[in-house]
Chain A
Amino acid sequence: MSSESLREKYGEKLVALGESHKEIVVLDADLSSSTRTGMFGKKFPERFFNMGISEQSMVTAAAGLALSGKKAFVSTFAVFLTRTYEQIRQSVCYNNIDVKFVVTHSGITVGEDGATHQIIEDTGIMCGLPNMKVIVPADTVEVSSLMDYLVEKTRTPYYVRLSREKFPVVNQPDYKFIEGKNTVLRDGSDLTIFCNGSMVGHALIAAEELKHQAIDAAVINVSSMKPFDRENIIKYAKSTGHILTAEEHSIYNGLGSRVAEVVSEEYPVSVVRIGMRDTFGKSGKSWELFDYFHMGIKDIVDAGVKCFLEEDKYETVS
């Protein structure tokens, strides 16, 4: 699997779509070289607003632009957007207007910058907002298709979570993003790994290794965190009976929590969650951090194997 930068793709798509969609405006808060919105700013300076290190002003101005018929893309690092949670709530979501928050540098893959910059709770925060939809793309193919969808088909608030790191390309070139639909990247009959973002690549490798241990694991990309594909989750809860979740996010209020909610309401099976616990991140290389926080490929494999060990033990006792 070759790796590509999701934020680079975001910048390219903004420029391409900006050409044909004059209603697009872009706002950034002094991070446009990192978020890649600077590419749009260079091409369309009159429609690009560098608001300085003033996220509250950026979000409210985006609301005003959207209320005046513009499609506003707002970008900064994920961690800094959350300081404007209340502006997002009141001025954007309550008005239910066309503002797209596309944030970069989420999660622990920010790496060396450390805990202050590694937000692991943002998806949960945003999913809680009425009218907000939340997408966590897995690769550049998904970002590309998602951007077309957001620009051409939607007029309401979205939160799109991107990262600093390059991610392996996991989707087919003809993949089309469909809101509220999971993508089965690998089918399986013993165990289902629901994952998103950076963890999709990890899960696919882990599934290969599990196969060597005679465990047939499905890998499903849950990029659409809200709306959530309950149907697909219930279907795989029934067909495989074992669920693992893997996310570069806190397991509290994240993908793991949401999957557990769905199966406990509809078809209870055990859910093992891999992700950040109740802890801040730390400085390090991102691959080191995955291991440090027990979110690496080996951790997924071990958790998968353990599902069946536990089951054997249980059967022996009874």
Chain B
Amino acid sequence: MDWRDLQMGEYSGVTGKTTDFNDDTLLKISKKAREYIIRMVYEAKSGHPGGSLSIIDVLTYLYFNEMNIDPTDQNLAYRDRLIMSKGHASPALYTILALRGFFPVELLMGFRKINSKLEGHVHRGVPGVETSTGSLGQGLGIGLGMALAAKLDSKSYRVFVILGDGEIEEGNIWETMMAASKYKTSNLIAILDRNRVQLDDMTENVMPMGDISAKAASFGWDVTEFNGHDFRDIRRAFAFASQKREKPVFLIANTVKGKGVSYMENTSKYHGSPPANQEEFEKALKEIGAT
């Protein structure tokens, strides 16, 4: 099976080393991914749809158009690495890995269940996952270590780290922001899912973030912002990240929490809660345009 099946609307994985899809195809994939995210959390009766829906377009682009990976050889030495530092967005990562062909999509429905490897938060036992995450603030440091290892081994792979905006309240992030600048890890690319909502409330109410772009730049990173739901703009941001440079890269993805499901958008209510009932579930699928 390959991506053509998916275009026909089947739940099949896309295998093969590289793909180069146009924006329309990426949109179809992310729509399918959104559907799975909703199905997974509703089936599990728990999980984090809000921050999964906000980052899924960026993830779709990364796994289908940007990263040098091969689902048939997960230990490829020169593969690009991705760390989902905001490990509660496990529905998004698991879904995209399945759609990309790392494991059968049928397994997604085992999410958070006793006999499944699909742990509530991102788990390294799942094919394609580079490190377990779930406690916030640690993924950027892990990414730095991987980036340092690439330099030591003269390998050209890149390390992508997805951060939540609430997550950067952690001190570990800023320690690593300094260290990455010191070691000039230009192969380290942080992507901030700037959806402006965290568990309790809007980020600006919980902890005012100020000018994140200026903060990252002052820590010695090359920074750009983009619309995290517009594939053309996502494409532009990663073209910027791919330019030859001396510094690590900090991409700020301006996103919408719960994107695609009206009642989940811009609220903390669905940060860590699934659709409350069958009615909400069906409304979500309908709005996503699930087939």
Task: Among B142, B159, B176, B178, find the residue whose CB has the most chain A CB atoms closer than 10 A.
Answer: B142
**Nearest residue, chain B, Cβ from A59:** B141
A90–B134 CB distance below 8 A: yes
* Across-interface contacts of A94 in B (CB, < 8 A): 124, 132
B130–A61 CB distance below 8 A: no
* Across-interface contacts of B183 in A (CB, < 8 A): 49
Given A52-B178, A60-B176, A91-B131: A67 in contact with B137 (beta carbons within 8 A)? no
Size range of the chain A interface in the assembly: 20 to 34
Q: Which of A46, A62, A64, A95 contacts B132 (CB 8 A)?
A: A95
Asked if A65 lies at the interface with its beta carbon under 8 angstroms from chain B, I say yes
* Across-interface contacts of A90 in B (CB, < 8 A): 132-135, 138
The CA of A61 and the CA of B180, in the complex, are separated in Å by 10
A67–B179 CB distance below 8 A: no
The tally of residues in B whose CB lies under 8 Å from a CB in A reads 32
A65–B172 CB distance below 8 A: no
**C-beta contact mask, A146-187 vs B, less than 8 Å → 1, else 0?**
000000000000000000000000000000000000000000
The CA of A230 and the CA of B159, in the complex, are separated in Å by 44
**C-beta contact mask, B134-156 vs A, less than 8 Å → 1, else 0?**
11011111111111111011000
- Chain A binding surface SS class: helix
- Chain B binding surface SS class: helix
B152–A47 CB distance below 8 A: yes
Asked if B9 lies at the interface with its beta carbon under 8 angstroms from chain A, I say no
Asked if B5 lies at the interface with its beta carbon under 8 angstroms from chain A, I say no
A65–B134 CB distance below 8 A: no
**Nearest residue, chain A, Cβ from B85:** A60
**Nearest residue, chain B, Cβ from A86:** B135
Asked if B2 lies at the interface with its beta carbon under 8 angstroms from chain A, I say no
Given A54-B179, A61-B148, A86-B135: A67 in contact with B130 (beta carbons within 8 A)? yes
Asked if B246 lies at the interface with its beta carbon under 8 angstroms from chain A, I say no
**C-beta contact mask, B78-111 vs A, less than 8 Å → 1, else 0?**
0000000000000000000000000000000000
CB-contacts of B173-222 with A (<8 A): 175-176, 178-179, 182-183
The CA of A61 and the CA of B131, in the complex, are separated in Å by 12
The CA of A86 and the CA of B171, in the complex, are separated in Å by 13
* Across-interface contacts of B133 in A (CB, < 8 A): 90
Given A56-B175, A57-B176: A67 in contact with B142 (beta carbons within 8 A)? yes
* Across-interface contacts of A60 in B (CB, < 8 A): 138-142, 144-145, 172, 176
**Nearest residue, chain A, Cβ from B155:** A68
**Nearest residue, chain A, Cβ from B135:** A90
B142–A63 CB distance below 8 A: yes
Asked if A66 lies at the interface with its beta carbon under 8 angstroms from chain B, I say yes
The CA of A172 and the CA of B119, in the complex, are separated in Å by 48
Asked if A69 lies at the interface with its beta carbon under 8 angstroms from chain B, I say yes
Asked if A36 lies at the interface with its beta carbon under 8 angstroms from chain B, I say no
Q: Which of A25, A64, A72 contacts B141 (CB 8 A)?
A: A64
Q: Which of A52, A54, A64 contacts B142 (CB 8 A)?
A: A64
The CA of A61 and the CA of B152, in the complex, are separated in Å by 14
**C-beta contact mask, A42-80 vs B, less than 8 Å → 1, else 0?**
000011010110101101111111111110100000000
Q: Which of B134, B141, B143, B182 contacts A56 (CB 8 A)?
A: B141
List chain B positions with a Cβ less than 8 A from chain A.
Answer: 124, 130-135, 137-150, 152-153, 159, 171-172, 175-176, 178-179, 182-183
Q: What are 14 A-to-B residue pairs whose CB atoms are below 8 Å?
A: A25-B148, A52-B178, A56-B137, A56-B141, A57-B172, A60-B140, A60-B145, A63-B138, A63-B142, A66-B145, A67-B130, A68-B149, A90-B138, A95-B124
7 cross-chain pairs, A with B, having the tightest CB-CB distances, nearest first: A64-B145, A60-B141, A68-B149, A57-B175, A54-B175, A61-B145, A64-B142
